[in-house]
Structure formats: C-alpha cells, structure tokens
A = this chain, B = another copy of it.
Amino acid sequence: MENQVTLVQKTVVITPDGHREEQEIVAIEVPYTVALNDRDIGTSMVLATGLEEFGAGFLFGQGYVTEPGQVREVLVCPEGRISVHADVDEEDEPKEVIITSGCGGTGRISREMLEGAFDPLKECTITLAEIRRFIRQVLHYSPLGGQTHCVHGCGFWADGKLQAHYEDVGRHNAVDKVIGAILMGKITARGAIYTTGRLTSDMVLKCARIGIPIVMSRTAPSSLGLAIARRAGVTLAAYARPDRVNIFHAPERIIRAGD
C-alpha cells in the first residue's frame, strides 16, 4: 500500500518587487485512529507511511504496549484506522497522565514513566565513521523534509548498517515508527537512533524505555531530555553532523576512528 504523502499547492509570493505565483510541495497530514484489541485508544495526525510500525509505537508511547513480543498483529485500514492486537494486561493502563508538549508528542506520558526506574540498556558502541554513513543515509532516504519543510526523519543503525528509516509530520511519530519496528521484531533496540527533531523529555524517555543506548539528534536537547538521558544512562548526542557530534551525556559509546 503506497499512500500519497504530498500534494502540490499554488501559492502567491509577495516581495517588495511585486507578486508572483509559485508552486510548493505540501506534506499530507491525515488522522489515523489507533485501536488496541478492538478498543480505540486515540486518533493522531500522521504522514501515511510506516503505519503498522506507527500503530505499535504509538501504543508504546502511550504506555499500553511495553515490550517487544506483545504485538501479535497490526492491520491498517486505509479509511484511517490502525488495529493493533497485542498480549497486554488491560490493568496496565497508564494512570496519571502528563500531556507532553515541548512541541508535542503523540500525546501523553504517565508520571510513572517519567519518574520510574529504567531497565538496563542494550549495550553497543558506534564509530564516527558509522555516524557519518548513518546520517547521510537517513537524510538520503528522507527527501520529504527538504521538499516540504514539514516532515521529520528518523533512522536506526545497528551492526554496521542502516536498519530502518521513517518520516512523519511529527518528530514524535517518526520516532514512534522506529520504536514500532522494534516492537514488531523487525529490528533490535541494540543500536543508535537518529532524529532530525529536538530531544525533549518525551522523545528521550521513549527511547530509554525501549532500551536504545545511543540517541542522536540533528538539533538540541531540552534540560529534561538531558536529565532523562542521565538517569537512564543513555548516550545523548546533539547537533549531529556527518563529521561532528556534540555529546551531552555518556560519550564512551561513541568511538572516534583511530582511538
């Protein structure tokens, strides 16, 4: 299933020199309702790619699905519904809910997620040469960002190669798609995630909860994103470029070639 994800829009550009028509490419944002075991959990605005992974990752972000192995089946109905069937305990629902703003979020995290202990991370390292290839490949496979200026890219690197890459109108959703791929057993959490979006609390939190040891962003972390990385022991690398990373916590997992 290949959904249309952009449209062309005629616009009017006004400058001191006059008016002229232009054409812009616009990212298509559509609502999809995610259901868990036939119960609607929420509706989210997404870019309609990687929808199975999104459904699983969304439920993880909201605290309904907690680990790989629980997701049995994901069915996508093009009319706007993602049905996830998973072996979860209905009692495990998140209680006290925090609306994650900091530019967003697929919505809500619980105070327990924010303040609870973390399981040990899946250990690994990455070299600067790998980071170069990783970032270049994610950006290569995420052309919509440059075309629409309304899409974030996210990728996952493990065992010396790019394992997954997704795009979405939301920086959260793009990360949720990668986490969904982990939940569905397509990839392992033992690697590095790279996002073009900012690392606010909720972004780092879901990566730490699923056990990803290296979290990288093209841009900056917030104070609470950094605090969660410290508490979970996650390597937090910001302003990541093909030949430069700026490590805010746990630099030992990033190895300079020749070290």
Q: Which residues of A are at the interface with B, using a C-beta cutoff of 8 A?
A: 7, 9, 11-16, 18-19, 22, 24, 26-31, 42-46, 97-108, 111, 114, 128, 148-150, 152, 168-173, 197-198, 200-202, 219-226, 238-239, 243-248, 251, 254, 256-257
Contact = CB atoms under 8 A, between A and B. Distances in A.
| Copies of this protein in the complex | 2
A136 to B, nearest CB: 15
B170 A13 contact: no
Nearest to A223: B28
A222 B14 contact: no
Contact of A246 (B24, B97, B128, B220): B24
A16 B243 contact: yes
Contacts of A239: 149
Given A29-B224, A223-B26, A256-B19, A201 B45 contact: yes
A28 B31 CA distance: 31
Nearest to A98: B43
A170 B102 contact: yes
Contacts of A238: 11, 24
A173 B200 CA distance: 14
Contacts of A105: 101, 104-105, 107
21 contacts: A13-B247, A14-B254, A15-B244, A26-B222, A26-B226, A27-B222, A28-B222, A29-B225, A30-B224, A42-B98, A43-B98, A43-B111, A45-B102, A45-B224, A99-B108, A101-B168, A102-B173, A103-B103, A104-B171, A104-B172, A150-B220
Contacts of A224: 28-30, 45
